[in-house]
């Protein structure tokens, strides 16, 4: 049966708005020392998982492994998706683009180099591009798939990552942490951007901000406040728990210490990725916005605007279809991408569910369950609430061995509207 997605209305800038939030920024305690922050527009993207073009062919074991993973990563069309994203940013003209890690598919140096080439038009247009490493970027077991079959490749060391991305924050940093790849960048507009390396050990999933790095961050946040500036902090791993099933290996293990440090220094926003679905949670005076994995439909990025003392956040969808039309492309996967991308993500979940439910003899019940769970997962990624299953379906669910999906479903349905709807987040001075 054909599935049809619900499409959001485009805004004036031809972006598809998924969520809208306001955050009150906080000034330095000494009002006499404060300098007014100039208007600033910051785009943020995460988990690009870029492969490159020549070194990854979507066939053979590469395609099979990606399909079997259920991740929904649209790796075959990533070069075109990135071109559409870059074209959209060139129209939007943000002052800054933040890339919060997992730049490469599995850490191959050639993937990093290919991504840097893709981002060149943005830097040439005067957009400041800043990045930091995720758990897939450094000291990994790197592979390439030039003919669809795996070949060993060279990854990068921490030093090589900083050298490769020298023009993406590291060379122009106001301050760099001696114990990690964290740094501070002064935008020159009254706002300093803190790019926090949350990797405890490169090449591993686990996230932690080292004690020495927390000390460095504390000193630099104080310096920012003393200068009358505002701070925007970004990292790869989540600071707060967005989903109870995805806490360990997703949230930094010292997240509360980090949250308290940010709150004590008047920081209201932490930008992260790693989780893959779009999500926002708040605790105390700090909100953690996890930007959706760019490699997964609908290929969102965030747009943050500083207006007075308010941070205004909008989740935006990459408009692939308009880009394809503007460039005269005929590939229907691109010209009809909203449906194609939606179906690709749906099928990534449904494929795993069909295997899990293979023992269920009632075919109609099997298909109904598969549809319910796959739809809920798609809604979770695209930021659309799913209601809890009706009673009859709930009874069927309790009688069926769903494995991981049994617990997962309860965490992605009947969610509070604060994850998706408009909200205001602000507190008083610390």
pLDDT in tens, 265-291: 999 999 999 999 988 999 998 999 999
pLDDT in tens, 84-143: 999 999 999 999 999 999 999 999 999 999 999 999 999 999 999 999 999 999 999 999
Residue 354 pLDDT level (bands cut at 50, 70, 90)? confident
Residue 380 pLDDT level (bands cut at 50, 70, 90)? confident
**All domains in the chain, ordered by first residue:** 16-323 (3.60.21.10), 332-417 (1.10.246.180)
Nearest to 221 by CA among 258, 181, 273: 258
pLDDT at site 413 = 80
Using the 8-state DSSP alphabet, how is residue 422 labeled? -
Predicted confidence (pLDDT) at residue 352 exceeds the cutoff of 90: no
Predicted confidence (pLDDT) at residue 423 exceeds the cutoff of 90: no
pLDDT in tens, 32-63: 344 456 789 999 999 999 998 878 889 999 99
Nearest to 236 by CA among 211, 204, 260, 265: 204
pLDDT higher at 261 or 397: 261
Residue 349 C-alpha from the chain's centroid: 19
Any residues with CB less than 8 A from the CB of 123 and at least 6 apart, and which?
129, 167
pTM of full prediction above 0.85: yes
pLDDT in tens, 153-172: 999 999 999 999 999 999 99
Nearest to 295 by CA among 3, 56, 20, 36: 56
Lowest mean pLDDT among 1-5, 196-200, 340-344: 1-5
- How far apart CA 399 and CA 150 sit, in angstroms, is 41
Predicted confidence (pLDDT) at residue 190 exceeds the cutoff of 60: yes
Beta bridge partners of residue 98, listed in sequence order: 44, 130
What's the mean pLDDT when you consider all of the chain?
Answer: 86
Q: How far is CA 176 from CA 156, 216, 235, in A?
A: 19, 9, 15
């Amino acid at each position: 049966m054909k599935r049809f997605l619900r499409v959001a209305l485009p805004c004036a800038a031809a972006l598809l708005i998924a969520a809208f939030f306001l955050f009150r920024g906080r000034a330095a305690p000494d009002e006499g020392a404060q300098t007014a922050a100039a208007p600033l527009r910051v785009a943020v993207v995460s988990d690009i998982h870029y492969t490159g073009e020549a070194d990854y062919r979507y066939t053979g074991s590469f395609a099979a492994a990606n399909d079997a993973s259920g991740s929904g990563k649209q790796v075959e069309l990533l070069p075109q998706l990135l071109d559409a994203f870059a074209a959209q940013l060139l129209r939007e003209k943000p002052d800054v683009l933040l890339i919060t890690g997992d730049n490469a598919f599995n850490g191959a140096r050639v993937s990093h180099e290919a991504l840097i080439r893709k981002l060149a038009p943005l830097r040439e247009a005067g957009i400041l591009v800043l990045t930091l490493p995720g758990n897939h970027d450094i000291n990994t077991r790197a592979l390439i798939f030039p003919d669809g079959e795996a070949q060993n490749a060279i990854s990068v060391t921490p030093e090589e990552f900083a050298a490769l991305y020298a023009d993406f924050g590291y060379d122009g940093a106001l301050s760099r942490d001696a114990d990690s790849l964290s740094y501070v960048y002064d935008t020159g507009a009254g706002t300093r951007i803190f790019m926090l390396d949350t990797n405890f050990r490169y090449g591993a999933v686990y996230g932690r901000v080292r004690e020495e790095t927390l000390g460095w961050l504390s000193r630099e946040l104080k310096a920012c406040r003393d200068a009358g500036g505002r701070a925007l902090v970004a990292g790869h791993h989540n600071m707060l728990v967005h989903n109870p099933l995805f806490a360990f290996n997703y949230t930094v293990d010292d997240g509360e210490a980090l949250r308290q440090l940010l709150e004590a220094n008047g920081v209201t926003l932490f930008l992260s990725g790693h989780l893959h679905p779009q999500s926002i949670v708040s605790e105390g005076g700090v909100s953690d916005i996890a930007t959706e994995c760019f490699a997964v439909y609908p290929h969102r990025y965030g747009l943050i605007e500083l207006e007075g003392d308010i941070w205004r956040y909008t989740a935006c969808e990459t408009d692939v279809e308009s880009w394809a039309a503007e460039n005269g492309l005929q590939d229907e996967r691109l010209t009809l991408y909203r449906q194609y991308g939606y179906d690709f993500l749906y099928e990534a979940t449904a494929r795993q569910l069909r295997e899990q439910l293979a023992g269920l003899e009632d075919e109609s019940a099997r298909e109904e369950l598969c549809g319910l769970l796959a739809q809920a997962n798609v809604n979770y990624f695209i930021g659309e609430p799913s209601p809890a299953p009706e009673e009859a379906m709930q009874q069927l669910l309790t009688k069926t061995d769903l494995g991981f999906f049994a617990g997962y479903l309860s965490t992605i349905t009947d969610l509070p509207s604060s994850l998706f709807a408009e909200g205001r987040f602000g507190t008083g001075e610390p």
